């Protein structure tokens, strides 16, 4: 079976507004200044904890110890879990792309570095159904380690020779490379086209329609 796996944030959904709100909630509690949207875009990709650490380094007075930082993480996550979809919306063309993939008999999945409960909260709001869904899990390392992606591919009855991974960052590109599968990297998400090129990603998709065209070209050759 052909399968298409997606990153969530910056690929299927524009979640940056809710991520920024959660990070700034934690910063404010510790007398920090607000991070703007472009800054938050640069922080994300390797998990929310790491994103907060970057925000603290730029926007907060020194945190006295690791225990205090863990309290900030809990504040951020508590806020986000209570406000997961205030600003979050699917990118244009994504609902149609997913429907088209389904109609053609492809398996579709999600592998994200967002915590698993938040991934499912977003999907529940919009009623999207996938064959495999996983966010951050304690039994698997975060991307760019490919273990969870490979597990997902196996779970839907596919293999690396019939799978494409779609993401929006250098982390997603590296994940696919380590998994031994092709990647489609979009430039409409959390990384600009310039940033992606600087990371060595020469070809990008500007919209969901281009993603569909690239997928068709790949699967017609497999």
Which tens digits make up the pLDDT trace of 87-122? 999 999 999 999 999 999 999 999 999 999 999 999
pLDDT tens-digit map of 27-79: 999 999 999 999 999 999 889 999 999 999 999 988 878 899 999 999 999 99
Mark whether 52 and 106 lie in a shared domain: no
Three-state DSSP class for residue 111: strand
What CATH number is attached to the domain comprising 58?
A: 1.10.150.240
Please, what's the b/e burial string for 154-166 (b: 16 or more CB within 10 A of its CB; e: otherwise)? eebebebebbbbb
136-154 average pLDDT score: 97
173-201 average pLDDT score: 95
- The number of residues making up the chain comes to 222
pLDDT band at residue 222 under the 50/70/90 scheme = low
Domain C-terminal end among 82, 97, 128: 82
Outline where DSSP puts E strands in the chain. 3-6, 13-14, 89-90, 107-115, 132-136, 163-167, 183-185
Considering its fold, how many domains does the chain have in total? 2
Catalytic residue annotation: 7
Mark whether 67 and 116 lie in a shared domain: no
Return the minimum-mean-pLDDT range out of 9-23, 28-42, 57-71, 135-149: 57-71
149-171 average pLDDT score: 97
pLDDT band at residue 155 under the 50/70/90 scheme = very high
Mark whether 212 and 137 lie in a shared domain: yes
Mark whether 35 and 96 lie in a shared domain: no
Mark whether 30 and 42 lie in a shared domain: yes
Query: How far is CA 122 from each of CA 31, 34, 126, 133, 135, rounded to the nearest angstrom?
Result: 30, 24, 7, 12, 11
Domain C-terminal end among 30, 65, 82: 82
- Residue 34 belongs to what domain range? 16-82
Mark whether 98 and 31 lie in a shared domain: no
Mark whether 38 and 102 lie in a shared domain: no
pLDDT at 45: 87
Widest CA span in the chain: 56
Domain C-terminal end among 47, 66, 82: 82
Mark whether 102 and 151 lie in a shared domain: yes
Q: Is the dihedral of CA 88, 198, 166, 96 positive or negative?
A: positive
The mean pLDDT value of the chain amounts to 95
pLDDT at 1: 75
C-alpha 22/C-alpha 33 separation (Å) is 13
Q: What does pTM read for this prediction?
A: 0.93
pLDDT band at residue 178 under the 50/70/90 scheme = very high
């Amino acid at each position: 079976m052909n399968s298409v796996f997606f990153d969530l944030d910056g690929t299927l959904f524009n979640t940056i507004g809710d991520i920024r709100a959660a990070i700034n909630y934690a910063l404010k509690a510790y007398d920090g200044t607000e991070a703007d949207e472009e800054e938050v875009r640069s922080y994300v990709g390797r998990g929310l904890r790491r994103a907060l650490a970057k925000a603290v380094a730029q926007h907060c007075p020194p945190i006295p110890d690791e225990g205090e930082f863990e309290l900030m993480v809990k504040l951020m996550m508590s806020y986000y879990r209570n406000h997961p979809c205030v600003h979050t919306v699917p990118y244009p063309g994504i609902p149609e792309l997913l429907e088209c993939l389904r109609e053609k008999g492809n398996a579709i999945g999600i592998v994200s570095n967002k915590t698993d409960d938040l991934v499912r909260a977003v999907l529940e709001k919009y009623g999207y159904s996938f064959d495999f869904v996983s966010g951050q899990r304690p039994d698997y390392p975060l991307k760019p380690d490919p273990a969870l992606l490979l597990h997902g591919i196996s779970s839907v009855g596919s293999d690396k020779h019939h799978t494409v991974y779609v993401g929006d960052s250098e982390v997603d590109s590296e994940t696919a490379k380590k998994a031994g599968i092709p990647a489609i990297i979009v430039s409409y998400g959390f990384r600009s086209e310039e940033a992606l090129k600087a990371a060595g990603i020469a070809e990008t998709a500007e919209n969901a329609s281009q993603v569909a065209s690239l997928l068709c070209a790949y699967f017609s050759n497999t």
